[in-house]
Chain A
Amino acid sequence: MKKSIVVGLGNPILTDDGVGNKVAEVLRNKVGPEVEVVEASLAGFNLLDLLTGYDTAILVDAIQTKEGKVGDIYKLDKDDLAFSQRLASVHDINLYTAWQLGDQLGVKLPEKLIIFAVEVDDVLTFSEKLTTKVAEVVPEVCELVLKELTSG
């Protein structure tokens, strides 16, 4: 059986940064045993460890873009991250670089990687609550993830 993992990325105590965590929390009860749902605050190397061994990986994360509207949902695959083959965090490598590294070193990476990114408002204030517009799109993101899981 194909193994899938859904990773809600984020910091659950930094307002909208926790949107990935929230999606994971909701999805946990909506998927079968073949799908692992986890929450994580990880980047590059650690994320690589987490995704190793799965056939499909779906990540849900917060994003802030120049012209973005809060609540917009972006669907990306790993090729969309190709422009970012540089350092990500000040202390880690980014996902794309991690992926290439894994490929080079013969790590078994998922064949399919999809990222749902939600345009967010506030990621600098300590709070466990999402802002309204971000909270409103959580069900929609969950639907998109479920659809992606069943599409093979």
Chain B
Amino acid sequence: MSVCKTRVTIDPITRLEGHGKIEIFLNDAGNVERAYLQIPELRGFEKFCEGRPAEEMPRITSRICGVCPEAHHIASTKALDAVWHVDPPHTAKKLRELLFNAHMLHSHIAHFYALAAPDFVVGPGADKKDRNILGVIAKVGLETGQEVIKHRSYAQKIQAMIGGKATHPVCGLPGGMSKPITEEERQQIESMALSLVDFAEVSLQIFRDVVLKNKAYVDLILSDAYSLNPYSMGMVDENNHVNFYDGIMRITDPEGKEYVRFNANEYNNHFAEHVEPWSYLKFPYLKNVGWKGLVDGIESGLVWVGPLGRLNAADGMATARANKAYQEMYSTLGGKPAKATLAHHWARLVELMYAAERMLELSQDSEITSTDIRSIPTQTPTEGIGIVEAPRGTLMHHYVTDERGMIKKANLVVASAHGYGAMNMSVDKAAKGLIKEGKVDEAAKNMVEMAFRAYDPCFGCSTHTLTGKLPLLIRVYNTSGEKIMDLEW
């Protein structure tokens, strides 16, 4: 048998090339001329979908990504409502929103404790062996670690209860949901939600104690190397408060004024995609502002999405504690819009609180255990767009079907694509601010990555990178275009 048991041949670069790459071009003085973030695009998705029954799309699209399958599932299900011109009953919408908020909680908890906190709790210049969740727990204590695991698994359990399966939900149907929840399940969700609200409060307090009380970190967050001034986009309710599942899309300009609001079905009137020769992934931009290159400001149609984009684009949060945290964040950062890329981490915790509170509200809603969860579609399927606010930002699914409901055309614009332009600018700015005279050491490299990590970007589909490397490569070039350094994670 051809089994090779050796550590030596397992060169730990799994999927590195298949994932992200930051390319940094230095000038003669050794300073950064330009830095680019490249994300590969997966191939053949549209072809894969063509000719399949549209009802399969929520299950197929949730397979695209191992990080946010629930977000794809719900965006896809909403697109199917639109394709079949059907409005689901209240309870179906509330169950979907409950599932979605559980997903948001689970994702934001993982990001804050496993990916954001190491830079702040352990320190951006710490040895990378310690700069991980184990290092975080060594500092904040085992008890907090147990709370993290417990609450993450609560969010996962709630997703499984509503979605039918823990990771790849099977509940969404055009016009509703496949199964209701029982009173017993409701009670379990309510009790877990109560605990999650407390946990969100603890998480915000950790942020205050560890980050805000450390002047060096606050200075870092507010420094020019980590600031940006793009448009901001997010979904809002009728009071312009953040909503992840349903509402109207709102975009504010770099000065914080409302630029436009639109319904999901108008998405294509507002966004176009720009192609750059060096990137497979396209750059979505505001079509009526225009493409001005990878620059920020009011003349450039690039947007911030994700936690900070959403909070900038809204007037507040719809629940009490989250709204208080929202006000605190903006008063500390000097008002709206926030321009600090690293404030994405803080915004994520404000959203963690909102998701927990909203989940509690929904679990106590008198309609939530109703069995009226499906409006049977009666019209001929045509075309539809579904939008949700995935943890990383606005996620759009657009399907066109024939009269039998078979997919003729499918287009998805994912959150990390919406934020790709801004992410590129942040990486470029951080590289320019932090790499001087050709000195690219471990700390500088990590600090460039921090700009990128703030976005919690998702590159694609396969998250189970066996050998455990961050799928990111930093490559440094001299003025002749020769590669002078590779910095693997």
User: Complex: how many Å from CA A117 to CA B114?
Assistant: 25
Contact of A91 among B137, B463, B469 (CB under 8 A): B463
* In the assembled complex, A4 has its CB within 8 A of some CB on chain B: no
User: Complex: how many Å from CA A47 to CA B14?
Assistant: 19
* In the assembled complex, B115 has its CB within 8 A of some CB on chain A: yes
Interface size on B, residues (CB 8 A): 70
Per-residue A-contact encoding for B448-459, CB less than 8 Å = 1, 0 else: 000001001111
- In the complex, chain B residues 3-37 whose Cβ is within 8 Å of any chain A Cβ: 3-7, 9-15, 18-20
* In the assembled complex, B156 has its CB within 8 A of some CB on chain A: yes
User: Complex: how many Å from CA A28 to CA B107?
Assistant: 31
Contact of B462 among A10, A74, A95 (CB under 8 A): A10
Is B468 within 8 A of A14, CB to CB? no
Per-residue B-contact encoding for A64-99, CB less than 8 Å = 1, 0 else: 111110011111100011011111111111111100
* In the assembled complex, A54 has its CB within 8 A of some CB on chain B: no
Is A74 within 8 A of B464, CB to CB? no
- In the complex, chain B residues 38-68 whose Cβ is within 8 Å of any chain A Cβ: 40, 42-45, 47-48, 60, 63-64, 66-67
* In the assembled complex, B434 has its CB within 8 A of some CB on chain A: no
Is A105 within 8 A of B149, CB to CB? yes
Is A41 within 8 A of B167, CB to CB? yes
Q: In whole Å, how far is A39's beta carbon from the nearest beta carbon of chain B?
A: 10
* In the assembled complex, B398 has its CB within 8 A of some CB on chain A: no
User: Complex: how many Å from CA A115 to CA B462?
Assistant: 17
Is B14 within 8 A of A64, CB to CB? yes
**How many of chain A's residues touch chain B, expressed as a range?**
35 or more
Chain B, residue nearest A9 (CB): B464
* In the assembled complex, A37 has its CB within 8 A of some CB on chain B: no
Is A89 within 8 A of B149, CB to CB? no
* In the assembled complex, A151 has its CB within 8 A of some CB on chain B: no
* In the assembled complex, B215 has its CB within 8 A of some CB on chain A: no
Is A86 within 8 A of B468, CB to CB? yes
User: Complex: how many Å from CA A90 to CA B276?
Assistant: 24
Q: Given A126-B43, A127-B44, does the pair A46, B461 have CB atoms closer than 8 Å?
A: no
Q: Which residues of A contact B137 (CB under 8 A)?
A: 101, 104-105
Is B468 within 8 A of A94, CB to CB? yes
- In the complex, chain B residues 130-164 whose Cβ is within 8 Å of any chain A Cβ: 132-134, 137, 142, 145-146, 149, 152-153, 156
Chain A, residue nearest B62 (CB): A41
Q: Which residues of A contact B4 (CB under 8 A)?
A: 72-75
Q: In whole Å, how far is B364's beta carbon from the nearest beta carbon of chain A?
A: 27
Q: Which residues of B contact A87 (CB under 8 A)?
A: 114-115, 132, 468-470, 489
Contact of A94 among B7, B115, B156, B465 (CB under 8 A): B465
Per-residue A-contact encoding for B352-366, CB less than 8 Å = 1, 0 else: 000000000000000
Contact of A86 among B43, B47, B60, B469 (CB under 8 A): B469
* In the assembled complex, B1 has its CB within 8 A of some CB on chain A: yes
- In the complex, chain A residues 86-132 whose Cβ is within 8 Å of any chain B Cβ: 86-97, 100-101, 104-107, 115, 117, 123-127
What are 10 sample pairs from A and B whose C-beta atoms fall under 8 A apart? Answer: A10-B462, A45-B152, A62-B466, A65-B13, A66-B11, A73-B4, A89-B471, A101-B134, A125-B44, A126-B45
Q: Which residues of B approach A to under 8 Å, CB–CB?
A: 1-7, 9-15, 18-20, 40, 42-45, 47-48, 60, 63-64, 66-67, 69, 107, 110-111, 114-115, 128-129, 132-134, 137, 142, 145-146, 149, 152-153, 156, 166-168, 453, 456-472, 489
